A and B are shown apart, each in its own frame.
Chain A
């Protein structure tokens, strides 16, 4: 099954690498959109059907946590699984992200297998919403 994915990262290069790595990992991508920050991601969500959001944490304009806070306010958006892909490793911030409702966390640098395993675990869970 292919999933529509939204990749949120302020580095265009990093977005391309994540997209490529996810594809190479064997996780099937349908449509894929890219956003440079949380606000751009919310704009995309208004017009596109997204099954999964992969987001960085530290970004200008609207960071990853601020974006998740906006997502959970919306009945539909809150059901979209969010996975952090970030260099962030401090426990308080990761705990805050999980408390807000993220479904997974992958620390950079990452192996394709780590991405595949995390994404499949989340997307193939019986009730991932």
Chain B
């Protein structure tokens, strides 16, 4: 199941980044260690979070360096990067969470009605990525425009 979710998340991320932001993603290979540490080198991130519930419940979190988020917002809105507002970047990260999460669970189980919460994005400084969740969360890593992107999925234990 974990491998299936990881594969589907990457497929959806690839589709979403190309369709919405015109940015291809580069999937991290297993022997590529960059993703484990590179996010630590950024002083600040945008961290978008959305809850889901259906057959299972939990949270999906997207962590994106600010520079990449601005480029994504600029491409999405068709505006010059210098004219994109902070609020618009937040909106775009929210939408990214919404689209990735909605598509992921529709592909995992189309017959189930999955309910998503309203996504929320905040700026996180001095952030060590691994502290965001407990160890049992699934972390899908890839690069876009040379920036590392992490998508974390954590299911709430049942019972």
Contacts and interface: CB of A to CB of B under 8 A. Distances in A.
Contacts of A87: 98-99, 101-103, 106, 116
Contacts of A110: 19
Contacts of A58: 98, 115-116, 118
A58 B94 CA distance: 13
A107 B77 CA distance: 19
A84 B21 CA distance: 21
B107 to A, nearest CB: 7
- Where chain B touches its partner, the secondary structure class is helix
Contacts of B91: 11-14
A11 B77 CA distance: 13
Interface residues of B, number: 31
Name which of A60, A92, A108, A111 has the most chain B CB atoms within 10 A of its CB: A108
A89 B107 contact: yes
Contacts of B98: 58, 87, 108
B112 interface: yes
B159 interface: no
Interface of B: 15-16, 19-20, 54, 73, 76-78, 88, 91-92, 94-95, 98-99, 101-103, 105-107, 109-116, 118
Interface of A: 10-14, 16-17, 20, 58, 60, 86-93, 107-111
30 contacts: A11-B91, A14-B95, A16-B77, A17-B76, A20-B77, A20-B78, A58-B115, A58-B118, A86-B102, A87-B99, A87-B101, A87-B106, A89-B102, A89-B103, A89-B110, A90-B54, A90-B105, A90-B113, A90-B114, A91-B110, A92-B112, A92-B113, A93-B113, A107-B106, A108-B95, A108-B99, A108-B102, A108-B103, A109-B16, A111-B19
